[in-house]
Chains A and B, each alone.
Chain A
Amino acid sequence: MGIFNPHISIQRLNVFYGERHVLKDITVDIPEKKITAIIGPSGCGKTTLLKSLNRLIDLVDVAKVSGNVLVDGVNILDDEVDVTDVRKKMGLIAQMPNPLPMSIYDNVAYGPRIHGVKDGKELGQIVEHCLQAAGLWSEVKERLGEPASKLSVGQQQRLCLARALAVQPECLLCDEPTSALDPISAQHIETQLLTLKKDYTIVFVTHVLRQARRLADYVIFLYLGELIEHGPAETVFTQPDNPRTKAYIEGVFG
């Protein structure tokens, strides 16, 4: 598979929504502390793959999952595993910003509080640190008590980023994180992600190839639930192995 440290190792992952075979036998490794982009046309299972990585797929009644997903060597799909622990490790940023119905401060503090941080000072430090890492601190530091719903969409998405960072995850899973944002906010997020990859393994789904080109170190191409190709971004974009990859990249079916 390559010359990197796999952080996440997906082995023969199959997901069914009822009768529909949404993810077909996916086997791929995701490198540590790099940005991996999952690309492919809409409806190909990209989001499903992402949600399998933090077991948010469990919330879908009709979903049946089989296979292994090893994170740091432990299979997170195992029944014995504590699912809240898994989700703590794998932060998720959704396509549409979804701030919790609370203040800006409480949004970021929510995760740490749930996981046992009680000390006010500590919480304050975490909130500040994460908002800074998300590039939002300077804009909200005077109004942390305001409801998060008052922020613009771009700010809300950065808030969601800060919120995800607050629980000290190992990975950041991003589902088309900028598709709902204006270009300037989108750029903000992209800049933050590039900075964050030093400390976190980032996996993001996008259907905008240019974005993948800008950010990705590693690329996974999914088509109709199948893993068509994967590899370092340079290789996949300039010299793809698979003709279907080539066709997609050249815009034949995007």
Chain B
Amino acid sequence: MNKRKLEEAFFKALMLLSTSIVLGSLSAVFAVVILKGAPALSLSMLTQTPKGGYYLGKEGGILNAIIGSLYLAIGATALAFLLSLPIALYLNEYAGKSRFASLTRLSLDVLWGIPSIVYGAFAFIIMLYVGARASLLWGIITVTLFVFPIMTRAIDEVMKMSPFKLREASYALGSTRLETALKVLTRQTLPGMLTAILLAFGRGIGDAASVLLTAGYTDSIPRSLFDPVATLPLAVFFQLGTPIPEVQQRAYASGVVLLALVLLLSIASRISTRKFMKYVIK
């Protein structure tokens, strides 16, 4: 029996070690990025766009990237939502357990796994075909494509949890499917949808590969959809690539901004999920 107890103790140690490695990695990422980036963070960093000579170490900040990312992520999230909600509603209210529904869910899951660079490449092809140039609009379109499978499946999962009895009650009162979908299902899953939206927003704002080929980069804040736009992930990437230490520092600072955003979104979605759990009728 001692041998068996020893074996159990050994593997338990292995388990604790593995979990520590996972948590340790998380801490390491946050610690290193924040430690290196916080010193370079300053008010001017966050409130100014790059001025002349910025990339040589002179004045300016990453406001262009912050605003740019926000425009892009908000636009893409909104557009993706317009696409995701009908699909999720259709899957839950109209298609039910059919093969079509399973196949659609499978394709969405597969789309979820496709890397953003492929979406970027695809959008790039379309842009060439229509003769478009890199701009906010195309960045939004690309990120929308990238993000809508995640959002759709997340909303779908939330709706799946809604008990059928609720919808049954609505039908019993003579509602059409659309009315049930909009008035009952949507309302009940609102907090859960918020979580899905936040999830998608987080993905959209942090992704670089999709916007690399399609959104361009610029020092100014875009004034129209057809202007190129700077994004935070690319700000990190490009600034890191320079040999000038001051500019590299700014890359670290941009990284911290991104991390802070992600952390905020994560907390917001936790709160939203908890609220959701409170109102779910089981």
Contact = CB atoms under 8 A, between A and B. Distances in A.
A211 B1 CA distance: 39
A235 interface: no
Interface in A63-87: 82, 84-85
B4 to A, nearest CB: 8
Interface in A16-74: none
A248 B4 CA distance: 47
Interface residues of B, number: 2
A111 to B, nearest CB: 13
A85 B4 CA distance: 12
B87 to A, nearest CB: 37
A84 B8 CA distance: 13
Contacts of B4: 84, 114
Nearest to A84: B1
A113 to B, nearest CB: 12
Contacts of B1: 82, 84-85
Contacts of A82: 1
A82 B1 CA distance: 9
Contacts of A84: 1, 4
Nearest to A85: B1
B50 to A, nearest CB: 59
A82 B5 CA distance: 11
Interface string A81-114: 0101100000000000000000000000000001
A246 to B, nearest CB: 44
B127 to A, nearest CB: 52
A85 B5 CA distance: 13
Nearest to B3: A116
A233 to B, nearest CB: 38
Interface in B1-18: 1, 4
Interface string B173-184: 000000000000
A84 B1 CA distance: 9
Interface in A149-167: none
B226 to A, nearest CB: 60
Nearest to A114: B4
A114 B8 CA distance: 13
B5 to A, nearest CB: 9
Interface in A104-152: 114
Contacts of A114: 4
A87 to B, nearest CB: 12
A82 B2 CA distance: 11
A33 B146 CA distance: 70
Contacts of A85: 1
A82 B4 CA distance: 12
A84 B5 CA distance: 11
Nearest to A82: B1
B58 to A, nearest CB: 64
A114 B1 CA distance: 10
B281 to A, nearest CB: 26
B262 to A, nearest CB: 36
A125 B1 CA distance: 24
A85 B1 CA distance: 9
Interface string B1-42: 100100000000000000000000000000000000000000
A42 to B, nearest CB: 26
Interface of B: 1, 4
5 contacts: A82-B1, A84-B1, A84-B4, A85-B1, A114-B4
Interface of A: 82, 84-85, 114
- Ordered nearest first, which 5 A-B pairs have the shortest CB separation? A82-B1, A84-B1, A85-B1, A84-B4, A114-B4
